[in-house]
Amino acid sequence: MPDRVLRAMDRAALDHRGPEFAAIVAACQDGLRHLYKTTRPVVIYPAAGHGAWEAALTNTSSPGDTILMAETGAFSGWWREMAESFGITVEYLAGDWRHGADPEAIEARLAEDRAGVIKAVAVVHNETSTGVTSRIADVGRAIDRASHPALFLVDNISSLASMDFRMDEWRIDVAIGGAQKGLMLPPGLGFTAVSEKAFRASQSARLPRNYWDWRAQLPDGLTPTFTCTPAVNLFFGLKESLDMLLEEGLDEVFARHARLAEAVRRAVRAWGLDLQSADPREHSNSVSAIRMPDGHDAEMVREACHSRANVVLAGGLRKLAGRVFRIGHLGDLNEPMILGTLAATELALAATSAPHTPGGTTAAIRYLAEN
Ligand code: PLP
């Protein structure tokens, strides 16, 4: 979290129904629309990403509805379980956790569904557990080609503000984001950007909802209002973070992420280790999951990295527990931070006698020097 963001939040709260706060909220709406590349409103909840998931599902579905979801990893799995807990039937398109959602498979399934049983297609844009980024533009085109009326729900929690995202151009109906990743904020804000079609669907959706209800949060379909007390100080931080992103320039922010992510990938390759992401078109620019050779526990590398260098690598989730460690490379990040992380990781690999070829950090330096 950048100091600018922390300092912006370090002040007394304002009257959240007063004009000064209204101006901050309006600036945040403008900034978020820019990030989402949409003309549509973004409903901002005091919530974690799970809340925004729930808002997207409960505002668009009725009990017994079927949605088509792509298995990309741990997060698609948790979203699926949430949907099922609401009585939604999830057709879960099987995946191997090394690839993103398959646009052809989605198109084929929708083309088959002549009765229009499928009410929505749900995809996690950047699967944080695997470091795989699904090709959302291709999925949007696949839905179009199938001429299917399904809504398109996309979780962009770990791609927002780190990778290009085009809600309107990619014909997305609900885009689900959160504060604590590319926006460089503490956790506590959940976003749903709502298309006109999704807003219309919410008028007749029958899943019970109250806190999440767009009919209250977005009464005219265009202007978000707060039914509960907003997370006032997080808005101060959000405005500062959006200012920082727009000052740098979105294209520059995305290019910085791409370059630092590639430096990480060069290091991984030089170590002789594999990324969990198997298709170079889908390598994530916000997180890399690195596979440990069979018989070696990724948790030992994590523990050594933490205890010796005070650098926290993320662990493997669900079936990847112990199999991968993850390097987050998003948000307020520059060359020395990424090189420090790679050097600490290389130290941990050496200290735990993990099979690897030394020199990954040097390979990253070489890539950054030349690019
Ligand atoms: N979706 C993705 C892709 C995530 O990375 C996360 C959290 O890391 C979530 C959903 C859930 O967000 P939260 O933990 O804020 O509820």
- Comparing C-alpha atoms, which of 112, 202, 100, 212 is closest to residue 151? 202
Testing ligand 1's pocket by substitution, the residue of 130, 157, 158, 163 carrying the most ligand atoms inside 8 A of its CB is 157
Q: Which pTM value belongs to this model? A: 0.98
Q: What is the DSSP letter of 297?
A: -
Please say whether the beta carbons of 213 and 224 come within 8 A: no
* SS percent in the chain: helix, strand, coil, step 5: 45, 15, 40
Residue 49 C-alpha to ligand 1 middle, in angstroms? 5
Cβ of 75 closer than 6 Å to ligand 1, yes or no, is yes
Measured by CA distance, the residue closest to atom 2 of ligand 1 is 157
Testing ligand 1's pocket by substitution, the residue of 124, 132, 158 carrying the most ligand atoms inside 8 A of its CB is 158
Measured by CA distance, the residue closest to atom 7 of ligand 1 is 49
Residue 315 C-alpha to ligand 1 middle, in angstroms? 14
pLDDT of residue 176: 98
**What one-letter code names the amino acid at 129?**
S
| Chain center to CA of 258 | 15
pLDDT single digits (tens) 296-314: 999 999 999 999 999 999 9
| Chain center to CA of 174 | 13
Cβ of 49 closer than 6 Å to ligand 1, yes or no, is yes
Please say whether the beta carbons of 308 and 343 come within 8 A: no
Please say whether the beta carbons of 20 and 149 come within 8 A: no
Exposure b/e, 115-145, CB count within 10 A at least 16 = b: eeebbbbbbbbbbbbbbbbbbbbbbbebbee
Give phi and psi for 177, each to the nearest 5.
-125, 175
Cβ of 185 closer than 6 Å to ligand 1, yes or no, is no
Measured by CA distance, the residue closest to atom 10 of ligand 1 is 49
pLDDT tens over the chain, length 371 residues: 999 999 999 999 999 999 999 999 999 999 999 999 999 999 999 999 999 999 999 999 999 999 999 999 999 999 999 999 999 999 999 999 999 999 999 999 999 999 999 999 999 999 999 999 999 999 999 999 999 999 999 999 999 999 999 999 999 999 999 999 999 999 999 999 999 999 999 999 999 999 999 999 999 999 999 999 999 999 999 999 999 999 999 999 999 999 999 999 999 999 999 999 999 999 999 999 999 999 999 999 999 999 999 999 999 999 999 999 999 999 999 999 999 999 999 999 999 999 999 999 999 999 999 99
**What one-letter code names the amino acid at 370?**
E
Measured by CA distance, the residue closest to atom 12 of ligand 1 is 49
